[in-house]
Chain A
Amino acid sequence: MAAAGAPLAREPFDRTLLLVSPAALFMLLLFVYPFVYGLWLSFTPKEGGALANYTHFFTTDNLWPTIWTTLRLALPATLINVGLALPIAFKMRVKTPYQRWVTTILVVPITLGTVLIAEGMLTYFGPKGWLAQFLQFFHLYDGAIRLTHNYTGVLISLVISGFPFSFLLILSYITGIDPGLARAAATLGADPKAQFRHIYLPLLAPGLAMCFCLAFVQAFSVFPSAVLLGSPAGPTRVISIAAYEAAFEVYDYSLASAIAMIMGFVQFVIVVAVLGLRNLFYRGPMIGGKG
């Protein structure tokens, strides 16, 4: 049977490959083409030479600082999210009914999305919300409580939507590691801390780097909460707001594409840097383990 099937499979053209073509064509048409078109459009500005959009971006006072504004939000948010998610996910690596409950609760803020979180935060964290009332009632903090319409508000919303994401991702990486390895180490006298340092951390390094990149890229493209919860004219004027304004308020699609390309480029630089760091970090423990 196999012999009869083999020549069929090796025919010059395998028709099964056709099944992938609608998906490939669709992605080429609606993902790759817009990107290439956007790149081309960004070099054909309304007026001026090919680089006019980019020089405009880097010389205009309400455009180029948006890169730093966004980084100032995205980097701390990512560090908080991954930094807290890692130890908590490590603590919960053992499968219990408890784990199922926590993952179910944490998936709720992700599903609700940033718009609903923003509305909830405006009601709950606002100057007259329950949190402010609680803090003032118990005199924990007597000054004016401003957690919305500023930098802090956007940072909190990034943690609310980003922490569950990082946690669930790291948890799925940790539970993918064979617990037999840790058990073997425990027989040799390793406490949980040593197991974490010498077994889980090296094995998790690629997953952690990936999680950091994804969490960062999400935080970097923050849009609804920066508008609704921040002060979109001032300290939380992030780069996606600048791109949106250029496209839908000024109708300068060329400049908007240039800003989107710059946004993609900054994300790419950070991702490459993190993945590069991961390689440096990963080699150490491997050599230590063998030596």
Chain B
Amino acid sequence: MSAAATRRVGTLVDRAWRGLLLGFMTLFVVNIGLMIAAVATSSFAKRWLGTWLPEGWTTTWYTAAWKEFQLDSVLWVTVQVVLAVVLLSLLIGVPAAYTLARREFPGKRPLMLLFLLPLMVPPITYGIPLATVLYQVHLAGTIYGVILANLIPAAPFVILVMTPFIEQIDPNLESAARVFGAGTGRVFWHVLVPLLGPGILAASLLVLVRTIAMFELTFLTAGSDSQTLVVALYYAVFAAGVRAPQSVDAMAMIYMVVTLIWLLIALRFVNPTQLVSRVKEHPQAAA
């Protein structure tokens, strides 16, 4: 009888535990959803002070925010930075990933560590010495400084995403091309790049989404005319006292829409866990 009682208590605890976890998950997702909904509501609100819903609706905050925060130039800077970072990180990262996937050489392990460290050390820790150096060579405050700074996490990220992709391609294909006289360059462009298409697409979308949202490095290196959207949003929230909250929320909505569109495109080609689990390679590399 006592055994049965223990079992009953056991299932009760089990059920309570399961309920607790489900409750937390639901609470988490619902509150995130409501948080986004609150920003959206506020951005369309005429006046909204302590009531469930605003007194009236308007879209003027969007035009106000667009003018106030000079969003046309901010968006243009963002496009330039993101495109440059994606292209340059592919240009640097894919050849490096090829070597790391195909060759064994002395010093490979320290090199892997060098490419992993920028993903393990948070941007604000290395961003401050980096900004100091960039200010000394007069690159900080310009769009070139912002691009260089954003490449530091982006290029290793491409390497980590691409290395397993290249490893799974049969080396015999390259050998065959070489037998027919193709040099390394031609093997690369005519054999590897077409086969790597899906991998390159996934890597560039991941880099793109991460660069749009990368706040710290851009914040530390950008000048007033080289801000990206997320940094402009930071300054808008920071100086919220002087502006209508709806105008800041309208700007937040613009940022959110830009980010989420690209996230949705990215999620068609990659698994959500790929946005965070690049570190999975680390235990193998270190072990």
Contact = CB atoms under 8 A, between A and B. Distances in A.
Contacts of B125: 221, 260, 263-264, 267
A110 B238 contact: no
A116 B255 contact: yes
B124 A34 contact: no
A124 B30 CA distance: 12
Contact of A91 (B21, B42, B256, B277): B21
Interface majority SS (helix, strand, loop, mixed), chain A: helix
Contacts, number: 253
B24 A116 contact: no
Contacts of B248: 119
Contact of B96 (A22, A105, A207): A22
B230 to A, nearest CB: 6
A247 B273 contact: no
Nearest to B229: A115
Given A111-B213, A172-B277, A217 B237 contact: no
B244 interface: no
A119 B184 contact: no
Given A19-B95, A133-B50, A221 B122 contact: yes
Interface in B96-123: 96, 98-100, 102-103, 105, 111, 114-115, 117-118, 120-123
A165 B35 contact: no
Interface in B12-48: 17-18, 21, 24-25, 28-29, 31-32, 34-36, 38-39, 42
Contact of A119 (B128, B213, B233): B233
B100 A20 contact: yes
A2 B45 CA distance: 72
Contacts of B18: 91
A44 interface: no
Most buried by B among A23, A130, A168: A23
Interface majority SS (helix, strand, loop, mixed), chain B: helix
B240 interface: yes
B276 A110 contact: yes
B272 interface: yes
B3 to A, nearest CB: 15
A227 interface: yes
Given A247-B132, A264-B121, A123 B148 contact: no
B4 interface: no
Contact of A227 (B156, B238, B273): B238
Contacts of A105: 29, 32
Interface stretch (A24-32, A53-61, A138-146, A282-290): A24-32
B152 interface: yes
A214 B93 contact: no
Contacts of A24: 96, 111, 114
Nearest to A259: B128
A43 interface: no
B209 interface: yes
A155 interface: no
A28 B128 CA distance: 16
A176 interface: yes
Given A32-B114, A133-B52, A169-B277, A107 B272 contact: yes
B269 interface: no
Given A105-B29, A122-B240, A244-B128, A27 B155 contact: yes
A168 B277 contact: yes
A35 B129 contact: yes
Interface in B35-91: 35-36, 38-39, 42, 49-50, 52, 91
A73 to B, nearest CB: 14
Given A116-B256, A247-B132, 5 more contacts: A91-B21, A111-B260, A131-B31, A257-B128, A264-B125
Interface of A: 1, 5, 14-17, 19-20, 22-24, 26-28, 30-35, 37-39, 41, 84, 87-88, 91, 100, 102-125, 128-131, 133, 160, 163, 165, 168-169, 171-173, 176, 206-207, 210, 213-214, 217-218, 220-221, 223-224, 227-228, 240, 243-244, 247, 253, 256-257, 259-260, 263-264, 267
Closest 6 CB pairs of A and B: A38-B129, A221-B122, A23-B96, A19-B95, A172-B277, A124-B38
17 contacts: A5-B175, A16-B99, A24-B114, A34-B126, A34-B133, A37-B132, A38-B133, A110-B276, A112-B213, A123-B245, A163-B28, A168-B273, A168-B275, A169-B279, A172-B280, A210-B279, A223-B124
Interface of B: 17-18, 21, 24-25, 28-29, 31-32, 34-36, 38-39, 42, 49-50, 52, 91-93, 95-96, 98-100, 102-103, 105, 111, 114-115, 117-118, 120-126, 128-133, 135, 148-149, 151-152, 155-156, 159, 175, 178-179, 184, 209, 213, 215-216, 219-220, 230, 233-234, 237-238, 240, 245, 248-249, 252, 255-256, 259-260, 263, 267, 271-273, 275-277, 279-280, 282-283
